[in-house]
A and B are shown apart, each in its own frame.
Chain A
């Protein structure tokens, strides 16, 4: 089989783009699961809300992409915090299944409402002027917006990792994951911290939605398909592992891209095959620790 470098590079780029979304979304899921023990099935719907938020900002208030990158995660993050305060907090201490069922139901409701008003087809969202066009790298043509998504996602992922693993606030979060009662007995307002952490995870999903809008259009069900892959990413990386989610997100995007080039028939299933293999060999995930 002869290898076409431009075609291979193009698939690798697609893989990196998908990997960026997987990493951002799985990072949010990992933060929420690690700190709150909630399997947040509403994550795909919140990702979709981020994209719609950018769409509304542009079409109703004329606020463009750059401000949307900041405003949409804040708005959807606040929505997430309201969900946590009004519903999810009552599930603290219960089996994971309850959280999963509640968030799954929320996802159906949120997606159903958007589908009712906007149908199933995509709404266009233009690439900002500054990121239009592309550049010829010699072996491939690189659309600037796609390169931006990869670089920006990497920056956000590592900033989040730094926040959680290297700062005082992150130490509170990690400690509260292990023993929230004791952290609270040290004077930290743990319930407020949990709400803010859920908001952060949801904000990351919304940010991925905004980044995705110019590439994938804005669709009510845009989170439905990706969320299944993202859950596989989180399981492979290790539930709750921050760095595991980032590395696995990008790596699986690339693997998926390579599979599209070498054996396209398996490109939709390769992530799940890998998940099964990892679960068989290391049930806690590649970087997860045994409970």
Chain B
């Protein structure tokens, strides 16, 4: 659930008991810098939820805080009903949270096959290599290439493909379309739509609002480390003017 009083909360599902992820009053710091100032939102099973906002608003920090890779955090993060604010990132991953970072995190010392096989399976039901190749045929042809020798689009496919192997059903994708050609963005969009159809729950961070509009069920607007607004995809047109103001587009 977003901050009380924010516009559009009525449209957002508020079944926080059933939420896969429930973030309440989340604060986070980088050293002395206070980045998040009380973030509140929920993600329900099977949803694609997008955090929108300008550069430096706190979107990526929110994902990293959920993943447990920000040193100093406060507030509450519940995943599948369990509190994870104090859990280490490896434990959070083993609970079924998968994270695809903004910089993609492809390892130069590993080839494509090793990169794909790197994340350990955290539960049954992960995609097989064949299923990943079905989603991203390019990867099959580049299996023995060094991971960082792939094009930007292929690296993004690799970064998404490898977390699908793990069996995690909750995916956090940080700007998956950044710097990619339109045709690749379209492919990533189709992949996200397919994953949603197959029951994955996805928390997306995007600056590309036009892309997010094609895949997300709900949007939250992040500004200065807070959620300042939120609405469902069905309310998008009605909120377009506000959205342009928030995002400066």
Contacts and interface: CB of A to CB of B under 8 A. Distances in A.
Q: Which range holds the interface residue count of chain B?
A: 20 to 34
Given A171-B114, A188-B90, A182 B105 contact: yes
Interface in B46-75: 67-69
**Is the contact region of chain A dominated by helix, strand, or loop, or is it mixed?**
helix
B179 to A, nearest CB: 19
Nearest to B159: A182
A174 B94 contact: no
Interface string A145-177: 000000000000000000000001001101101
Name, among A178, A184, A185, A186, the residue most crowded by chain B CB atoms within 10 Å (CB to CB): A185
Given A171-B114, A181-B89, A188 B120 contact: yes
B90 A178 contact: no
B94 A178 contact: no
Interface in B199-244: none
B93 interface: yes
Contact of A178 (B69, B107, B122): B107
Given A171-B110, A175-B107, A184 B118 contact: no
B159 to A, nearest CB: 10
Contact of A172 (B93, B105, B118, B122): B118
30 contacts: A168-B117, A171-B110, A171-B114, A171-B117, A172-B118, A174-B109, A175-B107, A175-B109, A178-B107, A178-B108, A179-B105, A181-B89, A182-B101, A184-B69, A184-B93, A185-B67, A185-B90, A185-B92, A185-B93, A186-B90, A186-B93, A186-B118, A186-B119, A186-B120, A186-B163, A187-B93, A187-B94, A187-B166, A188-B90, A188-B120
Interface of A: 168, 171-172, 174-175, 177-179, 181-190
Q: Which 5 A-B pairs have the closest CB atoms?
A: A187-B93, A186-B119, A174-B109, A182-B105, A185-B89
